[in-house]
């Protein structure tokens, strides 16, 4: 899922400068799970903005704001409230904000920061394990992604800053390459680590990216 | 003709290296003074590359200035601040200026330096950088495309003999050797027994070992290093020794001399990290020579 966090209220209010009427849009998928833009957060935002002197013309929680057609359709179903608003405040990831923007000509305000593609450890705890690098090598690295879990994204082993098995960048985190070594050692395939992994192919990472499935 | 460093290591002569940091600003006088202070005592002078992710003059220019002064440099080159184009293009510049020794490094994380909001690159790592240098020595870029002329670099890289768990670092050492590393300049060594074990591991790989010798001024400085400098870990006993000394600064030099002497019996050279106290370099060199 896409992990996002809500921006501070002052920042949101500052972005709404020049308008008093706001329509709030949440997302029922990722933003709900990470409590950045679910039903509860949308209601709370409505209260906070009202307290800040804004008029909330309406709210909606769209099933998946990243779904462009559905977002446009759901906004059409609330056309009056949307039209009345000076701003559409979107509490979803950046993909959702852009679905909303593309659905009309209203000014949009992003109410969250999209952080990372996250695994869910438990309720309220998310961990970044995949960077969507487009060049997956997990089969060779014991199922631990060095591109993501290594703070430097190194392809060929630990850097010189590894200490007591921990990461130079975050002393409280295990070095990804030590984890990879230990896993491969248990599987009896550490010799795999003596083969040089070639430079990553960032051609896969050019953006804006798109994909069309062939029938 | 090979570099002095390459010649001496090839002849199994003991080498002594030191390091200076390029100027933080466009006035090179302090940098040149520091280099001139250590150069007569050592074989080659390393020029660091935005060490600790703190912004300074590019080592390409700083190393070039040393050449002009008749000092043979080891140009350190990290993957933190340059992508594969920039790394190779700096290498072409270095080769053209006559810089022969390169220390290929990953680079400290950008979060420990003075531009923490910056974006770290790490397009390549030290192994891949060594491979790129090897290709350039063959007259090719890293994709195998021909270049006008071949370089004649003598490339080395870093190693951490006292890193734990050491076994987890070994595969990368094997790869560094395979990628063309001819020498390791190690992180600071405090326990010569660990260095000996390290040498036993890397000797079959055909890479020579230059042991890092850190000169400390006080227990406070050692603690600062432990907190702030990645890869440098001053052991508790050493800190206690500095704390108990009447003159910690002199004690720091004594520790460096003792360690250097012990290391000199084990490996191919020492690399003195004087941490700005360039005036102590002669004393350490005199003890080892």
Burial of B209 (0-12, 13-18, 19+ CB in 10 A): buried
Of B109, B128, B131, the CB nearest to A169: B109
Which residues in B lie closer than 8 A to residue A198 (C-beta atoms)?
128
In this predicted structure, what is the pLDDT of residue B231? 79
Q: What is the pLDDT of residues A65-114, one digit of tens each?
A: 999 999 999 999 999 999 999 999 999 999 999 999 999 999 999 999 99
b/e per residue, B112-151, with b = 16+ CB within 10 A? Answer: bbeeeeeebbbbbbbbbbbbbbbbbbeeebbeeeeeeeeb
B122 → closest Cβ in A153, A164, A196: A153
The per-residue pLDDT for A205 is 84
A200 to chain B: nearest residue by CA? B123
The residues spanned by each domain of chain B are 4-288
> Quick one: pLDDT at residue B230?
80
Task: Out of A151, A160, A193, name the one closest to residue B171 (CB).
Answer: A193
Residues of A with Cβ-Cβ distance to B231 under 8 angstroms? 159-161, 163, 168
| Closest CA relative to residue B77, chosen from B87, B68, B63 | B87
Q: Quick check: A160 contacting B, CB < 8 Å? A: yes
φ and ψ at residue B238, rounded to 5 degrees: -70, -40
The C-alpha atoms of residue A24 and residue A26 are separated, in whole angstroms, by 7
Task: Give yes or no for A153 touching B (CB within 8 A).
Answer: yes
Cα–Cα dist B74/B41, whole Å: 15
A133 at the B interface (CB within 8 A)?
Answer: no
**Both structure tokens of A27:** 């997302």
pLDDT for A75 equals 98
Mean pLDDT of chain A: 96
Give A193 to chain B, closest Cα distance, Å: 6
Contact state of B175 with A154 under an 8 Å Cβ cutoff: no
Q: Which residue in chain B is spatially nearest to A158 when comparing CA positions?
A: B169
> Tens digits of per-residue pLDDT, A163-198?
999 999 998 999 999 999 999 999 999 999 999 999
How far, in Å, are A63, B8, B164, B221, B222 from residue B260 at the CA level?
67, 18, 22, 20, 18
* pLDDT (0 to 100) of residue A7: 98
Quote the minimal CA–CA distance from B27 to chain A in Å.
31
A196, B128: Cβ pair inside 8 Å?
yes
Q: What is the CATH number of domain B4-288?
A: 3.20.20.220
Q: Give the whole-number percent of chain A exceeding pLDDT 70.
A: 100
pLDDT of residue B267: 97
Contact between residue B185 and residue B207 where contact means Cβ atoms under 8 Å apart: no
ipTM score for this prediction: 0.94
Q: Which domains does chain A have, with CATH numbers?
A: 2-115 (3.40.50.2300), 131-205 (no CATH)
Strands A112-122 and A125-128, sheet pairing: antiparallel
Residues B24, B54: Cα–Cα separation, whole Å: 9
Find the residue in A nearest to B178 (Cα).
A196
C-alpha Rg value of chain B to the nearest Å: 18
Q: Locate tokens 């209203």: which residue?
A: A106
Q: How far apart are CA B41 and CA B288, in angstroms?
A: 11
Task: Spell out, as residue ranges, where chain B has pLDDT lower than 70.
Answer: none
Q: Quick check: B41 and B6 in contact, CB under 8 A?
A: no
- Report residue A12 CA to chain centroid gap: 18
> Contact B108/A161, CB-based, under 8 Å?
yes
What would the pLDDT profile of A137-151 be if each residue is shown by its tens digit? Answer: 999 999 999 999 999
Question: What's B51's DSSP letter?
Answer: G
The answer to whether the CB atoms of B175 and A157 lie below 8 A apart is: yes
Q: What is the pTM of this model?
A: 0.95
Cβ <8 Å between B168 and A182:
yes
Whether the per-residue pLDDT at A204 is higher than 90: the answer is: no
User: Cα–Cα distances in Å, from B5 out to A188, B12, B90?
Assistant: 40, 10, 21
Let me know: does B24 contact B84? Beta carbons within 8 Å. Answer: no
Give the integer Cα–Cα distance in Å for B268 and B260: 11
């Amino acid at each position: 899922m896409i992990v996002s966090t809500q921006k501070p209220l002052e920042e949101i209010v500052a972005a709404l400068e020049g308008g008093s009427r706001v329509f709030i849009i949440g997302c029922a998928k990722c933003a709900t799970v990470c409590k950045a833009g679910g039903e509860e957060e949308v209601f709370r935002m409505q209260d906070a903005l009202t307290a800040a002197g804004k008029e909330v013309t309406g709210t909606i929680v769209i099933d998946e704001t990243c779904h462009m057609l559905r977002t446009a359709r759901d906004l059409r179903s609330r056309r009056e409230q949307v039209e009345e608003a000076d701003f559409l405040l979107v509490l979803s990831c950046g993909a959702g904000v852009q679905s909303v923007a593309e659905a009309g000509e209203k000014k949009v305000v992003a109410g969250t920061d999209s952080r990372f593609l996250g695994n869910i450890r438990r309720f309220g705890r998310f961990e970044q394990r995949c960077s969507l690098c487009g060049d997956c090598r997990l089969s060779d690295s014991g199922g631990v992604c060095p591109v993501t879990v290594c703070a430097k994204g190194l392809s060929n082993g630990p850097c010189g800053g590894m200490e007591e098995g921990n990461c130079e960048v975050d002393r409280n985190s295990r070095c990804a390459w030590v984890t990879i070594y230990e896993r491969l050692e248990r599987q009896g395939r550490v010799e795999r680590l003596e083969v040089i992994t070639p430079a990553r192919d960032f051609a896969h990472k050019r953006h804006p990216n798109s994909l069309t499935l062939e029938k | 003709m090979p570099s002095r460093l390459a010649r001496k290591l090839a002849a199994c002569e003991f080498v002594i290296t030191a390091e200076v940091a390029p100027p933080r600003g466009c006035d090179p006088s302090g940098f040149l003074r520091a280099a001139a202070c250590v150069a007569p005592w050592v074989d080659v002078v390393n020029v660091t590359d935005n060490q600790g992710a703190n912004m300074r003059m590019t080592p390409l220019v700083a190393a070039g200035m040393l050449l002009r002064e008749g000092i043979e440099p080891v140009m350190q080159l990290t993957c933190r601040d340059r992508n594969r184009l920039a790394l190779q293009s700096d290498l072409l510049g270095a080769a053209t200026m006559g810089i022969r020794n390169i220390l290929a490094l990953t680079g400290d994380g950008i979060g420990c330096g003075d531009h923490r909001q910056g974006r770290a690159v790490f397009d390549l790592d030290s192994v891949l950088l060594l491979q790129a240098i090897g290709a350039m020595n063959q007259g090719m870029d890293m994709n195998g495309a021909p270049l006008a002329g071949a370089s004649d670099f003598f490339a080395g890289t870093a190693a951490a003999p006292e890193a734990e768990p050491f076994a987890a670092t070994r595969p990368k050492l094997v790869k560094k050797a395979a990628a063309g590393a001819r020498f390791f300049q190690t992180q600071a060594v405090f326990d010569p027994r660990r260095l000996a074990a390290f040498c036993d591991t890397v000797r079959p790989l055909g890479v020579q070992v230059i042991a890092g010798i850190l000169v400390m001024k006080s227990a406070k400085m050692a603690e600062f290093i432990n907190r702030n400098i990645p890869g440098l870990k001053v052991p508790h006993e050493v800190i206690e020794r500095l704390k108990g000394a009447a003159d910690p600064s002199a004690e720091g030099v004594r520790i460096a001399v003792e360690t250097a002497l012990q290391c000199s019996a084990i490996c191919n050279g020492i690399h003195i990290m004087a941490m700005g106290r360039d005036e102590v370099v002669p004393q350490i060199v005199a003890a080892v020579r």
